Amino acid sequence: MGWTTTHDIDVFTTAAGDFLRRDPVGNTLPLSVADTLRSAGLDLYGERAPEFGWWTGAAGRVAGAFLCTPPRPLLLSAMPAEAAAELADDRARVHGSDAGPDPARCTVNGAAEVAQAFAGAWQRCNGQAPRVDVRFRLHRLTGLVPPNPAPPGLARAATPADRPLLIDWLEHFARDTHEPMDDIPRIVDHWIRHGGFTLWETDGTPVACAGSRPSAAGSVRIGPVYTPDDQRRRGYGGAVTAAVTRAATESGAREILLFTDLANPTSNALYRRLGYRPVEDRLVLSFGKDT
């Protein structure tokens, strides 16, 4: 009973894969991150080695998991409150040890109740209260409702010729959303190579884009969706999202998912009009002397 950690993704997926796949909706983030690391390389998100872990309960079954891809937050699956508390105790002791604070391990991303259980244990251990960095919501498609009226233009798959544009747009997206994105050019290359970006064009000019992750346990997650400032409020973001949603449906995906920042009412209203409905809320929490 308790946590087991490793830097070996094969060991992790062998131990925790069945657990994660039992809930492909709630575990869309760890499933898709693990698949991406396996296909694109463990250093895709940064030079430091990722860390993985799983929690075994009293019944001897895996009941929780995490992934850490520094400098991104510790990514938590669904898990019992006691598992989240044990993990926080372990991390808080490391954070306060002679090894010094580790930013990659004092930020956590999890479903609200899991993140709060982690935060409570962390604060009891070293007195650091959490700061809420982001509140975001997971949505699932219940039935696509295309924009009506549809804006002018057509969807097309991104090609290597679109690389400079997509790098620029993804850098702007990262700044707008405060999302840590290291090595954006390499991420763009990986997505283009696997057909992961769709552009919306008007008169031959790209005006919006949407990403789509490969299917993980039958689920496809849409995002990021980006429209440059001078093209917003024209329906292009909704159109390109509907296009990638339709493609995912036609590919046979059992679940189609996306996340929204709860601080952005425009995107939340847009995706609801397209047929997406809330599943759960997640928090990104930070801990440290500056919180």
pTM, rounded to two decimals: 0.90
Q: Residue 58: its pLDDT value, please? A: 86
State the Cα–Cα distance between residues 283 and 114, nearest whole angstrom.
9
Q: Residue 91: its pLDDT value, please? A: 86
Q: Which CATH number is 143-274 given?
A: 3.40.630.30
Q: Residue 92: its pLDDT value, please? A: 81
Q: Residue 46: its pLDDT value, please? A: 77
Intervals of the chain under pLDDT 50: 97-101, 103-105, 291
Q: Residue 95: its pLDDT value, please? A: 59
